[in-house]
Amino acid sequence: MEFISAELLKYCEEHTSPEDDVLAQISRETQAKVMMPRMLSGHLQGKTLELLVKLHRPKVILEIGTYTGYSGICMARGLSEGGKLITLDINDELESMVRGFFELAGLTDKIEYRLGNALDLIPNLPGTFDFVFIDADKANYINYYNLVVDRVNPGGIILADNVLWSGKVLVEQGKKVDKDTKIILEYNQMIQDDPRVENVLLPIRDGLMLARKL
């Protein structure tokens, strides 16, 4: 998943505003107690998300895929007064842990945590969005994008994680690809071809596709 050496990554993290005790605790507990801890956003990506939110100053953020709450806390910390993060996840087994982390971070007033299938939840959410972070099941990336793109305000941001898919997007000619890789490739090309957005693919961690609504 990491595309630079461990030494360079360490250097980047040492020259990034430090991870505080709350985020460090979430990272430790996720590594110790939750399956597939590599899904955690982590220090470098988390700070990137926080600073993007501070720069963009959205009123409403939609996060599709809460996991253990690390990325949600980072984005909620970047919100201005009165801003709100709506975060959706299908895994109710992590609910008590996640709610505990949101409370520990002192952000329960800024975060609306909803459980269920995002494909069913999104159409029933009110209003529009200024910032969307897609980081859930890869099989539905295109479906999530299609559900939100027309509800993102002009100038709004749609971010998608894991768009380099551990390097699997570099496909040798004639080689078959698995289903998830195929969807990631289709998602990236869809964004590239969508006249409604301008975009840049950032090689941070496992790849972030940043699209700005025109």
Over the stretch 144-196, which tens digit does the pLDDT of each residue have? 999 999 999 999 999 999 999 999 999 988 889 999 999 999 999 999 999 99
Q: What pLDDT sits at residue 172? A: 82
CB 62 within 8 A of CB 147: no
In the block, residue with structure tokens 């990137």: 48
Q: What share of the chain is helix, strand, coil (3-state, %, to 5)?
A: 45, 20, 30
Q: What pLDDT sits at residue 2? A: 66
DSSP alpha helices (H): ranges in 34-157? Answer: 42-56, 70-78, 95-104, 118-121, 141-148
DSSP 168: T
- pLDDT tens sequence across 98-145: 999 999 999 999 999 999 999 999 999 999 999 999 999 999 999 999
In this prediction the pTM is 0.96
All structural domains of the chain: 6-213 (3.40.50.150)
Report whether pLDDT(56) > 80.
yes
